[in-house]
């Protein structure tokens, strides 16, 4: 008995080993949760997090983003990733915390549409670098108006979730303002859907106001030039809506509030709650809570009652003007410049709400028929094969007739490259009956067509299924809006296809006719003993008659 | 001795007149097409509708005739190909008339292989276009042979007191063929008979279904005994045979007696086709029908009269169906009550008898007994 017991630990022994786990340590062991689960994905996520940060910084400062992305192959599966922006720069004493501490950021505590949400991405990349190469993050930043740039090497003390600085100096930098982040990680550079190129291209589609310059590890270079010099309007920051608040979050809010009474708390901390609604909520709460109760003193049971009351009292839907969609015109521009197709449709749905969070859905379709209907009607009513500008194949998002449609997912203008199957957008696309719009669609699959389906979900809080922000959770309200957007575009596509088919049929008919006209000429020449000139004249006249008598397409 | 008007030049002047008519027809169609084009209109060709809906049986004329319904082949998406093919085939026809050549239907199909996109993909296509042109020409009194499209199958054999006047295609020299002087063989009807002239002092023409019976009658010189011209049909007579019998009987004003098997196929297919033509080639019947034809035998009554009951076979299901169709649906039989009675008599007996059944009474019973007895009583021939 005693012998056996010795293999088990006593409560005291256990207590001796139990200690706090820092967030950094947790993610070091669970790096897949942040998306760093394979070398190729790690490389892409690193670029993505740095670019997301750069874009948010530029936009918040009202600067048109110009971003440079460089990837250098250091050999032995080590890559050096550098992302440089023309943003406002970062104050020197902030740099360490931004890049060297997980869950440090400006956006987690506010509800506003932005790319980053948690303040985790770039630090996670730094941590991954530390883990795989042992190298620190190298940051150069110059704040607008400063004569010099700051250069720092930052690493993370994972046990304490605290930044560690190695070297800090002022240097000359030829940029007036901006930030350059360099990180050396173990990775794998690949082409295809999950490539850095594809990520940048998709980002360029959803952000036509951004210019990218990319230099790859094998000397390849690509530029995505902005087509619009209008910055998207700044999204407004809103307070949480009572419908969307969870019990835990409510308790946290009660503890953190500076409001002195429950009534004030309700009025100040939530959107769409006025005095009348606040009183109504308190009235429904009971459990000896009054309008004057001190929020910090509210017990757990009381908080539960408050939570139930909040859900019971009708509250006006949250305001939705805090959402900034890409917009139909910009989205069209973005698609048009990056996707080589014959026909584009874009649709921005009106804003809607899930669980108290406003969101807005945008859908774009790019349709291109290979070898193409590419037909054009000229002023004389004749149909010609339209000249077709073909982009470099490696650059084009392939549009092939016999392959499933390419689905591009975006959340707050950021492309989602992984976990397509688990995403609400994919579900909505699969649930859409594309067959009724004239496309082929195998059961439970994407439509098979030369089609790019682009879906953007903008929200103050995008419900990602994981911290890696790869897929959107399928809330029924979201699915519904997605489907409405898809259907609106599909209807337009069906209309276009009908028109295209009509034109195609008419062209085929005319081609068919034209094939046989010379034979009518030959026969007439043989029978009537015409000269070649007379024959050609008859054929030309007949061609003219046919063109005149056929309906204008 | 009956002479026809064509023997003087071997039918050359008659042929020339037909050729001129043919060329003029082709020319007029092409000219109309060209004029339409120049006027800025879609050209069209009017063709007779060849479907059975446009076929009537003319009791007075005694043959199936094409009605007056015309289809207009306007040059459109759906017709442009056949429109071009029709014109090109007409151009080919014109060339053959001018060059005094001809093409079989199969050859016409192959001519088109040089037409590029316009070529016929199968002979059924060229046959259909040819039938259209033929139907059109028939409205102008022209047969396909005048367009120089000849059938693939040759005509039957002919023997008896008949001189056929023909020309040598190479030299144009007039040739005379004495069908009574061909030894144990016979003269074979050419594919086109338009140019032929005839001289004969025979009393009638005997059209025989089977080659076997023809051989027997020829071998024993029955034609000498009965002073008749023997023509072998070999089943349903070919166009050449039908046209030959028609021309021979017209030119020499001789009656035509048919001697075929006593079964619905013999009545409805062989005899009826010879006499009035067929429904699905109604446009040519006016040239190919033989209104003078009469049915000598074997009749259902002959089975009883000549006691052939034990030399018969039961009617097959096909026979019964064919007989039923003839009685119910065929306007030719419907207009002849004696035929209806005869077919119903056969159906009542439920048997059929072949020509050769007469051999029951001896191989030459047909020569010595049957034919003489039948010819004594020509009123008994079925119409």
Alpha-helical segments (H) within B39-117:
80-98, 105-111
pLDDT at B4 over 50: no
Contact between B34 and A512 using a beta-carbon 8 Å cutoff: no
pLDDT at A24 over 90: no
pLDDT at B352 over 80: yes
Among candidate residues B118, B135, B150, the one where a domain is terminated: B150
On whether both B180 and B44 belong to a single domain, the answer is no
CB contacts, 8 Å: A536 with chain B: none
- pLDDT, tens only, B242-271: 989 999 999 999 999 999 999 999 998 899
Range of the domain at B220: 157-380
pLDDT at A118 over 60: no
- pLDDT, tens only, A190-223: 888 788 888 998 999 999 999 999 999 988 888 8
In a domain, residue B75? The reply is yes
- pLDDT, tens only, B56-84: 777 777 677 777 788 888 888 888 888 99
pLDDT at B53 over 80: no
The answer to whether B44 contacts chain A (CB < 8 Å) is no
d(CA B151, CA B165): 21
CA distances from A433 to A117, A446, A483, B181 (A): 34, 10, 10, 86
**Angle of CA points A261, A264, A266, to nearest 5°:** 110
The DSSP H or E segment spanning B138 is helix B123-139
pLDDT of residue B338: 92
Give the mean model confidence (pLDDT) for residues A430-438.
Answer: 92
CB contacts, 8 Å: B87 with chain A: 519-520, 523-524, 527
pLDDT at A383 over 80: no
B110 is known as an active-site residue = yes
Among candidate residues B92, B121, B150, the one where a domain is terminated: B150
Residue A212: count other Cβ atoms within 10 Å of its Cβ: 21
> Would you place residue A106 in the very low, low, confident or very high pLDDT band (cuts 50, 70, 90)?
low
Of residues A100 and B139, more confidently modeled: B139
Structure tokens at A521: 């000429």
Can you name the CATH fold of A23-224? Heat Shock Protein 90 (3.30.565)
Residue of B nearest to A523 (CA): B88
pLDDT of residue B3: 45
> Would you place residue A375 in the very low, low, confident or very high pLDDT band (cuts 50, 70, 90)?
low
pLDDT of residue B5: 43
Residue of B nearest to A514 (CA): B80
pLDDT of residue A1: 46
pLDDT of residue A411: 92
> Would you place residue A84 in the very low, low, confident or very high pLDDT band (cuts 50, 70, 90)?
very high
SS3 A175: coil
Contact between B91 and A526 using a beta-carbon 8 Å cutoff: yes
CA B116, distance to chain mean position in Å, is 35
DSSP A225: -
**Partner residue opposite B91 with nearest CB, options A513, A523, A544:** A523
Which residues of chain A are at the B interface, by a Cβ-Cβ cutoff of 8 Å? 509, 512-513, 515-517, 519-520, 522-524, 526-528, 538, 541-542, 544-546, 548-549
On whether both B205 and B334 belong to a single domain, the answer is yes
Residues of chain A with pLDDT > 90: what percent?
A: 28
Nearest to A99 by CA among A24, A1, A37: A24
- pLDDT, tens only, A304-342: 888 988 888 888 888 777 888 899 999 998 888 888 888
d(CA B307, CA A254): 124
The answer to whether B25 contacts chain A (CB < 8 Å) is no
d(CA A550, CA A510): 9
On whether both B58 and B134 belong to a single domain, the answer is yes
* Least confident stretch, A173-187, A247-261, B271-285: B271-285
pLDDT at A422 over 60: yes
d(CA A403, CA A451): 9
Contact between B30 and A523 using a beta-carbon 8 Å cutoff: yes
Q: Where are the beta strands (DSSP E) in A7-136?
A: 66-75, 78-85
On whether both B240 and B113 belong to a single domain, the answer is no
Residue of B nearest to A540 (CA): B37
Give the mean model confidence (pLDDT) for residues B201-214.
Answer: 92
pLDDT at B1 over 60: no
> Would you place residue B354 in the very low, low, confident or very high pLDDT band (cuts 50, 70, 90)?
very high
In a domain, residue B84? The reply is yes
Give the mean model confidence (pLDDT) for residues B175-202.
Answer: 89
Give the mean model confidence (pLDDT) for residues B28-33.
Answer: 92
Closest chain B C-alpha to A448 CA, distance in angstroms:
32
Domain count, chain B: 2
pLDDT at A97 over 80: no
Which CATH number goes with the domain that contains B65? 1.10.10.10
Contact between A526 and B95 using a beta-carbon 8 Å cutoff: yes
pLDDT of residue A83: 94
How many contacts does A have with B, using Cβ atoms within 8 A? 76
In a domain, residue B89? The reply is yes
Its pTM stands at: 0.65
Which CATH number goes with the domain that contains B180? 3.40.1360.10
The answer to whether B11 contacts chain A (CB < 8 Å) is no
**Partner residue opposite B77 with nearest CB, options A512, A527, A544:** A512
* Least confident stretch, A197-201, B135-139, B172-176, B281-285: B281-285
> Residues 272 to 301 of B: which have CB under 8 A from any A CB?
none
> Would you place residue A371 in the very low, low, confident or very high pLDDT band (cuts 50, 70, 90)?
very low
Select A328-499's CATH number: 1.10.3720.10, 2.60.40.1930, 3.30.230.10, 2.60.40.420.
Answer: 3.30.230.10
pLDDT of residue A385: 65
- pLDDT, tens only, B189-198: 988 888 889 9
On whether both B125 and B61 belong to a single domain, the answer is yes
d(CA A150, CA A493): 52
CB contacts, 8 Å: A553 with chain B: none
The answer to whether B83 contacts chain A (CB < 8 Å) is yes
pLDDT of residue A394: 39
pLDDT at A158 over 80: no
d(CA B205, CA B231): 7
Give the mean model confidence (pLDDT) for residues B114-130.
Answer: 89
In a domain, residue B6? The reply is no
d(CA B47, CA A196): 69
d(CA B151, CA B381): 31
**Angle of CA points A309, A476, A314, to nearest 5°:** 25
pLDDT of residue A500: 82
On whether both B110 and B59 belong to a single domain, the answer is yes
pLDDT at A111 over 80: no
- pLDDT, tens only, A234-282: 877 788 888 878 888 888 888 888 888 989 999 888 888 888 998 988 8
Cβ partners under 8 Å of residue B46, min gap 6? B70, B71, B72, B73, B136
Structure tokens at B137: 């020409």
Contact between B87 and A523 using a beta-carbon 8 Å cutoff: yes
Catalytic residue among B63, B109, B110, B306: B110
**Partner residue opposite B88 with nearest CB, options A513, A519, A545:** A519
**Partner residue opposite B37 with nearest CB, options A509, A513, A538:** A538
Contact between B88 and A513 using a beta-carbon 8 Å cutoff: no
Among candidate residues B150, B184, B206, the one where a domain is terminated: B150
For chain A, the domains span: 23-224, 242-312, 328-499, 500-549
On whether both B290 and B359 belong to a single domain, the answer is yes
Contact B213, B298 (CB under 8 A): no
**Partner residue opposite A528 with nearest CB, options B30, B76, B84:** B30
> Residues 137 to 176 of B: which have CB under 8 A from any A CB?
none
Residue of B nearest to A519 (CA): B84
On whether both B293 and B312 belong to a single domain, the answer is yes
- Mean pLDDT rounded to a whole number for chain A: 84
SS3 A511: helix
- The CATH class, in words, for A242-312 is mainly alpha
On whether both B229 and B302 belong to a single domain, the answer is yes
pLDDT of residue A370: 44
SS3 B120: coil
- Best of A516, A529, A538 to mutate (most B CBs within 10 Å, chain B): A516
CA distances from B246 to A299, B18, B179, B220, B253 (A): 120, 18, 18, 26, 10
Residue A337: count other Cβ atoms within 10 Å of its Cβ: 16
């Amino acid at each position: 008995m005693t012998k056996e017991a010795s293999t088990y630990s006593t409560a005291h022994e256990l207590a001796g080993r139990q200690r706090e786990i820092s967030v950094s340590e947790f993610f070091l062991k669970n790096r897949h949760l942040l998306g760093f689960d394979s070398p190729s994905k790690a490389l892409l996520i690193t670029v993505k997090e740095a670019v997301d940060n750069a874009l948010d910084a530029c936009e918040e400062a009202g600067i048109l983003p110009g971003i440079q992305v460089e990837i250098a192959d250091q050999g032995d599966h080590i890559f050096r990733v550098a992302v440089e922006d023309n943003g406002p720069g970062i104050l020197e004493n902030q740099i360490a915390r931004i890049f060297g501490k997980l869950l440090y950021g400006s956006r987690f505590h506010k509800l506003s549409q932005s790319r980053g949400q948690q303040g985790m991405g770039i630090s996670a990349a730094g941590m991954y670098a530390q883990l795989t190469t042992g190298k620190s993050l190298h940051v150069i930043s110059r704040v607008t108006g400063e004569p010099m740039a700051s250069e720092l090497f930052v690493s993370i003390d994972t046990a304490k979730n605290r930044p560690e600085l190695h070297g800090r100096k002022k240097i000359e930098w030829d940029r007036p303002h901006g930030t350059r982040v360099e990180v050396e990680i173990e990775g794998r550079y690949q082409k295809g859907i999950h490539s850095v190129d594809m990520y940048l291209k998709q980002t360029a589609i959803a952000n036509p106001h951004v210019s990218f310059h990319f230099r790859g590890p094998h000397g390849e270079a690509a530029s995505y030039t902005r087509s619009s010099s209008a910055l998207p309007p700044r999204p407004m920051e809103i307070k949480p809506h009572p419908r969307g608040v969870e019990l835990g979050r409510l308790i946290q809010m009660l503890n953190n509030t500076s409001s002195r009474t429950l009534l004030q708390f309700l009025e100040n901390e939530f959107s769409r709650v006025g005095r009348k609604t606040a009183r109504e909520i308190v009235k429904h709460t009971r459990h000896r809570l009054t309008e004057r109760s001190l929020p910090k003193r509210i017990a757990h049971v009381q908080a539960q009652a408050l939570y139930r009351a909040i859900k019971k009292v009708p509250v006006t839907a949250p305001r939705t003007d805090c959402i900034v969609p890409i917009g139909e015109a910009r989205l069209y521009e973005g698609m048009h410049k990056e996707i080589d197709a014959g026909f584009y449709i874009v649709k921005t749905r009106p804003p809607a709400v899930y669980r108290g969070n406003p969101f807005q859905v945008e859908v774009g379709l790019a349709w291109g028929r290979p070898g193409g209907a590419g037909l054009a009607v000229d002023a004389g009513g004749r149909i010609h094969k339209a000249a077709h500008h073909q982009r470099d194949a490696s650059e084009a998002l392939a549009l092939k007739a016999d392959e499933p449609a390419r689905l591009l997912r975006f959340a707050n203008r950021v492309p989602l490259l992984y976990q397509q199957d688990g995403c609400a957008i994919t579900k909505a696309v699969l649930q859409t009956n594309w067959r009724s719009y004239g496309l082929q669609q195998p059961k439970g699959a994407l439509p098979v067509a030369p089609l790019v389906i682009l879906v953007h979900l903008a929200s103050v809080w995008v419900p990602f299924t994981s911290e890696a922000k790869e897929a959107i959770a399928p809330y029924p309200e979201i699915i519904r809006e997605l489907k409405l957007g898809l259907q609106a575009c599909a209807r337009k596509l069906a209309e276009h296809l009908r028109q295209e088919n009509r034109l195609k049929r008419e062209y085929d008919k005319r081609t068919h006719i034209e094939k046989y006209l010379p034979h009518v000429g030959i026969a007439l020449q043989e029978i009537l003993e015409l000269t070649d000139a007379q024959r050609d004249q008859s054929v030309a006249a007949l061609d003219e008659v046919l063109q005149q008598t056929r309906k204008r397409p | 001795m009956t002479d026809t008007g064509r023997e003087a030049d071997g039918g050359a002047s008659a042929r020339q007149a037909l050729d001129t008519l043919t060329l003029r027809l082709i020319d007029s169609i092409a000219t109309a097409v060209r004029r339409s084009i120049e006027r800025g209109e879609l050209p069209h060709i009017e063709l007779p509708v060849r479907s059975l809906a446009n076929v009537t049986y003319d009791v007075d004329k005694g043959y199936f005739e094409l009605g007056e319904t015309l289809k207009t082949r306007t040059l459109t998406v759906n017709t442009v190909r056949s429109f071009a093919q029709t014109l090109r085939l007409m151009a080919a026809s014109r060339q053959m008339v001018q060059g005094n050549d001809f093409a079989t239907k199969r050859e016409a199909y192959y001519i088109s292989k040089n037409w590029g996109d316009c070529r016929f993909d199968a002979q059924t296509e060229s046959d259909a276009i040819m039938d259209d042109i033929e139907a059109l020409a028939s409205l102008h009194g022209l047969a396909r042979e005048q367009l120089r499209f000849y059938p693939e199958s040759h005509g039957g054999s002919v023997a008896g007191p008949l001189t056929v006047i023909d020309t040598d295609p190479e030299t144009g020299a007039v040739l005379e063929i004495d069908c009574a002087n061909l030894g144990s063989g016979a003269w074979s009807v050419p594919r086109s008979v338009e140019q032929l002239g005839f001289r004969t002092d025979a009393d009638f023409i005997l059209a025989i279904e089977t080659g076997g019976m023809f051989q027997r009658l020829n071998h024993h010189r029955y034609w000498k005994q009965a002073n008749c011209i023997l023509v072998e049909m070999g089943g349903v007579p070919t166009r050449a045979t039908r046209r030959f019998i028609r021309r021979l009987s017209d030119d020499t004003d001789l009656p035509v007696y048919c001697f075929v098997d006593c079964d619905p196929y013999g009545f409805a297919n062989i005899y009826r086709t010879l006499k009035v033509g067929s429904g699905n080639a109604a446009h040519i019947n006016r040239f190919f029908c033989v209104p003078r034809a009469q049915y000598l035998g074997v009749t259902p009554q002959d089975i009883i009269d000549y006691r052939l009951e034990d030399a018969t076979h039961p009617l097959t299901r096909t026979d019964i169906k064919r007989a039923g169709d003839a009685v119910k649906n065929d306007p030719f039989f419907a207009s002849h009550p004696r035929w209806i009675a005869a077919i119903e008599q056969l159906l009542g007996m439920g048997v059929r008898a072949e020509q050769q059944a007469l051999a029951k009474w001896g191989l030459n019973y047909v020569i010595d007994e049957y034919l003489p007895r039948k010819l004594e009583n020509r009123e008994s021939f079925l119409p």
